[in-house]
Amino acid sequence: MTGELILAVDLGGTKAESALVAVDAQGFGAVLPGSRHRQPTGREIGAEGLAGVIRSLIAATLAHAPGSVVGAGVGSAGPIDFTRGTVSPLNMPAIRDLALGELVEDAADVPTTLRLDGTCIALAEHWLGATRGASTSLGMVVSTGVGGGVIADGRLVSGSTGNAGHIGQLHVVDPVGRVGSAVESGAGTGTGTGTTLEETASGPATVSWARRRGWQGRTGEDLAAAVAAGDPIADIATRRSAEAVGQAIASVSALLDLDVVAIGGGFARVRPDYLDLVDAAVVRWTALPRTRPIAVRPSTLSNDGPLLGAAALRARTDLL
pLDDT reported for residue 198: 95
Structure confidence at residue 183 as a pLDDT band (50, 70, 90): very low
Provide mean pLDDT across the span 256-282.
Answer: 97
Provide mean pLDDT across the span 122-150.
Answer: 96
Percent of the chain clearing pLDDT 90 (strictly above) = 86
User: Distance (Å, rounded) from C-alpha 313 to C-alpha 57?
Assistant: 19
pLDDT reported for residue 301: 95
User: Distance (Å, rounded) from C-alpha 162 to C-alpha 114?
Assistant: 9
Percent of the chain clearing pLDDT 70 (strictly above) = 94
Residue-range domains of the chain with CATH: 4-127+303-319 (3.30.420.40), 133-300 (3.30.420.40)
Q: Does 179 have pLDDT greater than 80?
A: no
Secondary structure (DSSP) of the chain = --SEEEEEEEE-SSEEEEEEEEE-TTS-EEEPTT--EEEE--TT--HHHHHHHHHHHHHHHHTT-SS-EEEEEEEE-S-EETTTTEE--TT-TT--SB-HHHHHHHHHTS-EEEEEHHHHHHHHHHHHSTTTT-SSEEEEEESSSEEEEEEETTEE--TTTS-TT-GGGSB----TTSS-HHHHTSS-S------BHHHHHSHHHHHHHHHTTT----SHHHHHHHHHTT-HHHHHHHHHHHHHHHHHHHHHHHHH--SEEEEESGGGGSSTTHHHHHHHHHHHH--S--SSPPEEEE-SSGGGHHHHHHHHHHHTGGG-
pLDDT tens-place string over residues 288-309: 888 788 999 999 998 899 999 9
Q: Does 265 have pLDDT greater than 50?
A: yes
Provide mean pLDDT across the span 231-248.
Answer: 97
Contacts of 109 (CB under 8 A, 6+ apart): none
Report the chain's mean pLDDT, rounded to a whole number: 92
The pTM (predicted TM-score) of the whole model is: 0.91
Structure confidence at residue 181 as a pLDDT band (50, 70, 90): very low
pLDDT reported for residue 182: 36
Q: Which amino acid is at 240?
A: R
pLDDT tens-place string over residues 47-72: 999 999 999 999 999 999 999 999 99
